[in-house]
Amino acid sequence: MPGSIKIDDGSGNYTILTNGGSLGSDKTITVPNTTGTMALTSNISAPGLTGFQIFRITADLTSNAQYVTANWEEVDTYYEAIGSYISESSGVFSFSSTGKYWMTAQAEMYAPAGAYANFNIEGTIDNSNYEILARGSTPGGTIRMAGTTIGTLFDVTDVSTHKIKFFKETNSASTVMYGNTTKVMTGITFARLGDT
């Protein structure tokens, strides 16, 4: 069945235009004094997320400044991922598909008096040199336990070179980054928003 377009001439008079042909072909529409072509495209993304995954650390990390390389897991309680675009190995998060990814990270941390405990989302676009994409800071003074949340957008144009790491930034080996196997205390969420 051909499609139709309803055109108002501005005076309340409507003209119904129809055009045959296959559903997958471009359509040429002729309006008085004007002719135009409506091109159909398959490069239109459906609304909504195309991927969503959450990872967390499962055990406390008490240490000096370092990348968080151990005890990562994808959340497995009251959770279902959308797609499977992200994988983790030794603290390096890799992407199986190019796209624009929104990342939100949180950390619950403790720092003794005189110390700080911050964290960074760091990314590389050459599979070698990591740069800080977002940084979370804990308050100083007498408040020693704190949680903070940060977020950033990462445009993954090459899955072989674009990676993410999580960095614990501190000046004391007594600082703690908390982990848990049943709830997210420290972790990161990846949401694939669409194509690059």
pLDDT value of position 49: 84
Give yes or no for a contact between 77 and 182, defined as CB atoms under 8 angstroms apart: yes
pLDDT value of position 128: 97
Question: What one-character DSSP code corresponds to residue 45?
Answer: P
Q: Which of 4-8, 19-23, 66-70, 122-126 has the lowest mean pLDDT?
A: 19-23
- Token readout for 11 is 């005076």
Tell me the pLDDT tens digit for each residue of 100-109: 999 999 999 9
Task: Please state the domain extents for the chain.
Answer: 3-38, 51-194
Instruction: Give the torsion through C-alpha atoms of 55, 61, 67, 73, to 10 deg.
Output: -20
Between 160 and 18, the higher pLDDT residue? 160
CA distance 108 to 168: 11
The CATH code for residues 51-194 is 2.60.120.40
- Token readout for 123 is 């990314």
Tell me the pLDDT tens digit for each residue of 124-133: 999 999 999 9
Give yes or no for a contact between 73 and 181, defined as CB atoms under 8 angstroms apart: yes
pLDDT value of position 45: 46
Between 171 and 54, the higher pLDDT residue? 54
